[in-house]
Structure 1
């Protein structure tokens, strides 16, 4: 499945637009225009309420666009009768010229040279850069595009909830004190060779290791194209009701991601009294044996002196 089908870039507003990224079908519904971008046909989603020109973006491997990476740009909502348009930005290595897309939805553009590859500039610092659409000698729309460093994590889901829950979405759900929790993290740009991710939180007794392809992986289709790390741990029984940070350390210790998790409800009673009793009995038996051994040695020493 093409990455263009796994996610879409959304643009909202008519001027001073801000580029938002989403994964799968998340977010508000939009009108999907099939546009030819840099020689690749695929759906880019645009807001339906906006009557002006609109832009869509997608990176070569994920929705986040790396410096030096190939970029796809879609154009929609151009006025009737337009003949040419140019998308330019300090983030792009060169402007992207558009012409009306034959047979496409009204106002949809396609790049003038579909065989050409357009890139984000390799030498720029990661950050957010302005984008302008010009047509007929004037600017008809503006936008902003965010680029990230090569190899940066793209974590779309870092969720926490009761172990029996599916955790198919990106939101965490409350867990009771003393209950077992499932933790799921999805990275669309994982580090090479990274098979585990370590998670810490005040609600756990210690670090929790999330593993790829483990039994806690919910197998959600919303993760198409992403690498899933999952695991479980028991919330400390003495944790007070409230909100706590949960932090993942990934990319071999170079990146951290933090989410807030909620502890709510009554404490889960300890269902393992037999284990506690067994340990106590074993300790008592051990102490009794030691005590008998000490008494026996003392008795032997007394007999030898006599």
Structure 2
């Protein structure tokens, strides 16, 4: 959109060298002038032209029928190269008709360079949300812009809203952005909520007075297995002990009621926004478990992995319980079984096992006592004989 053209002139000789984007150096005792026009082609009325003049001395001005009056360029010093020059960004007049117009650069009252500026016809304001047939994924960020460069258009505040957005988004002009030459280009970034549902939504552009200017449609759809942008390769859930490491996780695991187990999930490419909402659910858990991204050095080289501690409900009956993780905005659902045994004591022994041991100990004590009584009775009998 922003074309570049350079012109180099030997000051005082009237010789002119034009190049199509490169740089030609004049040789006349170092008395050359280098002119760079950025945006010299296909300008609409109201667009800016970036003009940079190097090698000129004194007051530097540019004039052209496309400008309402001669424009004085501001001197500057390039801190990186130490060079000096003059710079300005004049706007093409809003009433200029399509055509090719001369541009003259003067320094110290002398003409030091000449070039041409091309102007095309104005175009009606345009509102764009996405490219045609584009589908936005939940959690994805995309740009919205409003090109309001048209004679007679006014206003500096524009807003877009949609049932698919978390909140209205304000559009603003960025003079340092890629559309610097269009002073009436207003843009903004929108991030869809992670839980946005598939469907077609209306996006409304509103002006500073609250009036509705234009409407566009937005297609929202999560990636499914088989789509070209579906890159997920989820694995899990798997489990490992609180004192263990993710590398030791296994699909089948045994834990006592009232105990704790870590739930692990891996995915080569999570959907946008999912890294903060992955959860594991199970009827064996006290509550759903948020799986957080493992950012440790131990996770380097592995697929992105997420894990979190799950507390097993106390008093839970022994048995096999499902543990489920849903990812890719509902497109992937994986379930693994967790084996729960009897409650865990403070010492880590199962309550049922402790009871059995205590019962065995009680039986052993009674047997010893009975045996001792029998021995004593036999001794007494022998003494009686």
> Per the shorter chain, which TM-score range?
0.3 to 0.5
TM-score (ref. length: structure 2): 0.28
Q: TM-score, normalised by structure 1?
A: 0.35
